[in-house]
Amino acid sequence: MPSLKPIDFADIFGTTVDLLPEACTKLIAENNWRYRVLEGADRDGVVLDLLSRIENRRLTFVENEDKSRWEKGWGENLEAFKASGGQLDALLPKYMRPGLPVRLYGEFVQPEDPNFESNWYTVYRTWFVGRYLAGFPHIFEFGSGSGFNVAYLAQQFPEARIVGLDWAMPSVEIVEALRTVHGLNTVGRQFDFFHPDASLDIPEGSAIFTVGALEQTGTQWGAFLDFILSKKPKCCFHIEPIHEWYDPQNSLVDYTAWKAHEVRNFWRGFPPRIIELEKAGRARILKTKRINFGSLVIEGYSQLIWQPL
């Protein structure tokens, strides 16, 4: 049975083994990365089920700036956080569902460990945050959701001010509680991607960070991009599913994700716009990397790193 090795993690992340920090190699050694590539009837069953869900719109999708689903979802995390006495494990997002097949190198695979995806993300976040977000005095996570990443950032960089922004109030309450309950240097604030608050101060030298948040803006990300360009943070880091990087003409696995993006009205058009801005001298692209790993439905972890000029 194949298994992910450190060299596979490095390749997927877009780095080399020697640049994986000890914390990552330790996490890799501690977990089970064995998996089975789905073939034949098993693969067909996954594909057919996904296509059926897509065609019958049995997937969640972005709809008319409706935040009720997020109020409910992050509200559940908030209640779990309170009930546990402030345990940070209660902030694990519920969209990381255990036991399901995942996408890996253009195939569907069935991991042996039901927590394969969440464990993989722990390694990925450890590497990404240490590699790219160290040294910023202010880090703004837009679409901070359950506060899972805000808590981690605040623990890793206690001297930095970590601002968690979300349009759902339970998310704001979680980030505020991280400060009052755990003494972390966090600030929660409400923010709407579709109607950005121009009064929000982004100090010079700040970093902007998103993880699976811009996916919810569909094609209506223009106001947020204009906001970023006007505030001129030092750098923007996006870990998101990127519609344009699939190959639906040559890969059935990619086609299912590409089609799911279309039906769910997920993030589209943003990366090409950043390329246009770079040509116009208004942005600089520092890194683009398709991450050949994802959940059952989409690849949600690709990297776009850029600077407004």
* Distance from C-alpha of 14 to C-alpha of 138, rounded to nearest angstrom: 25
What's the pTM value of the predicted model, to 2 decimals? 0.94
Which band of pLDDT confidence, cut at 50, 70 and 90, is reported for residue 11?
Answer: very high
C-beta of residue 306 within 8 angstroms of C-beta of residue 279 = no
C-beta of residue 110 within 8 angstroms of C-beta of residue 43 = no
* Distance from C-alpha of 187 to C-alpha of 165, rounded to nearest angstrom: 8
53 or 176, greater pLDDT = 176
Name the strands in the sheet holding 207-211, side by side, starting at the edge strand that comes first in the sequence.
186-190, 161-166, 138-142, 207-211, 235-240, 302-308, 283-289
Amino acid at 90: A
Mean pLDDT of 107-123: 97
With CA atoms as reference, report the closest residue to 69 among 142, 187, 170.
170
Q: Would the pLDDT of 268 be above 80?
A: yes
Considering only the top CATH level, what class is 55-103+136-308?
alpha beta
Q: What is the pLDDT of residue 276?
A: 98
What confidence tens digit (pLDDT) does each residue in 203-235 have? 999 999 999 999 889 899 999 999 999 999 999
What are φ and ψ of residue 251, in 5° steps?
-140, 120
Mean pLDDT of 97-121: 96
Q: Would the pLDDT of 58 be above 80?
A: no
Which band of pLDDT confidence, cut at 50, 70 and 90, is reported for residue 92?
Answer: confident
Q: What is the pLDDT of residue 65?
A: 59
The separation between CA 62 and the C-alpha centre of its own chain, rounded to angstroms, equals 16
Q: Would the pLDDT of 106 be above 90?
A: yes
Q: What is the pLDDT of residue 60?
A: 60
Q: Percentage of residues in the chain with pLDDT exceeding 90? A: 86
C-beta of residue 189 within 8 angstroms of C-beta of residue 140 = no
Q: Would the pLDDT of 114 be above 90?
A: yes
Arithmetic mean of pLDDT over the chain: 94
